Amino acid sequence: MEIFIQQILNGLSIASVITLIAVGVTLIFGLTGIINFAHGEFLMVGSIVTWLAVSNGWGFPLALCAAVVVVAVMGFALERGLFRFTLDLPTNGFIVSLGLIVVLQHIVILFWNANQKSIPHPLTKVWEVGGVRIAAVRAMVIIVTALVVTLTFFVITRSRYGRALRASVEDRDTAALMGIPVRRYITGVFVFGSALAGLGGALLIALFPITPFTGGTIVMKGFAVALIGGLGNLTGAVAAGLILGIVEGFSAGYGLSQWTDAYSFALMILVLLIRPQGLFGGTSGPRIT
């Protein structure tokens, strides 16, 4: 039994990072219509910023904040400099994001080479409860993710800003006529989604080493989760992230471990065949419940 519980706990920590990515993807797509495949590279940049900061003697909490801020600023610059020109041509935006993957990877390789990078675990304590081991660093990742996602949920569902945001997705022109600054909101959502990727990157490098190519695998899973949950659906992204993390943990633990990624994407294909709108129903805008 303790092995079973251990596998669930194992899955939760990586599921947390994937959920952060999926929430970013689903918010950006659902609220702005931008399909940003370079979102994984945003995460990778967040990891690199964390690594640089920690390597230069910064504490992990400060490094994490730096990662969030740097990637948010990068998101702002890229939305204003690139994606805003493709808002009416989503396919062009998609191609731009693919190009951005290569550009960002090569910038990182140029300055900091392609080797693996890691930081010392910010928390080293390991608790043992009934034969189940819980690493403090993994618990930290799960708790931070839960807090951030909960906060995001409440901002989108309960705040005036969130309501205005959803109104602009329903009908951009009417929302603009009602005085909602739609353009600014789109930028704001892109920046917030980017900040989530920066946070995910900081949390990821706290757990595992990263390379300039780490973003590719993670973003694929992030999109898989967003699709399984239903694109644009925040609740769906969280639930699907947890499902995928646990499926991965169980597939490696009880099935053919070398097929871990294949299980994730097989699940995505199955869900999309049975429920094309995703498990929780996808929309072109946010559906919270």
- Binding residues (CB under 8 A) for another protein: these are 3, 6-7, 10-11, 13-14, 109, 113-116, 118, 121, 126, 128, 133, 135, 207-211, 213-214, 217, 248-254, 256-258, 260-261
H-only helix segments in 33-181: 39-55, 60-81, 90-112, 136-158, 160-170, 172-177
Nearest 10 degrees: Cα torsion 197, 199, 201, 204:
-130
Q: Which is nearer to another protein, 7 or 235 (CB)?
A: 7
Distances (CA, A) of 276 to 84, 91, 227, 272: 29, 21, 9, 4
Pull the structure tokens for residue 272: 């999309």
Nearest to 249 by CA among 263, 229, 235, 233: 263
Nearest 10 degrees: Cα torsion 46, 165, 276, 94:
-50
Q: From the CB of 39, what's the least distance to another protein, in Å?
A: 19
Q: From the CB of 222, what's the least distance to another protein, in Å?
A: 15
Q: From the CB of 103, what's the least distance to another protein, in Å?
A: 17
Q: Which is nearer to another protein, 167 or 252 (CB)?
A: 252
Q: Which is nearer to another protein, 90 or 261 (CB)?
A: 261
β-partners of residue 127 are 134
Q: Which is nearer to another protein, 28 or 135 (CB)?
A: 135
Nearest to 45 by CA among 95, 143, 117: 117
Can you tell me which residue has the tokens 């969030």?
Answer: 68
Q: From the CB of 145, what's the least distance to another protein, in Å?
A: 15
Q: Which is nearer to another protein, 85 or 208 (CB)?
A: 208
Q: Which is nearer to another protein, 16 or 235 (CB)?
A: 16
Q: From the CB of 245, what's the least distance to another protein, in Å?
A: 10
* Contact yes or no for 6/246 (Cβ under 8 A): no
The three-class DSSP label of residue 179 is coil
Distance CA 41, CA 101 (A): 6
Q: From the CB of 265, what's the least distance to another protein, in Å?
A: 13
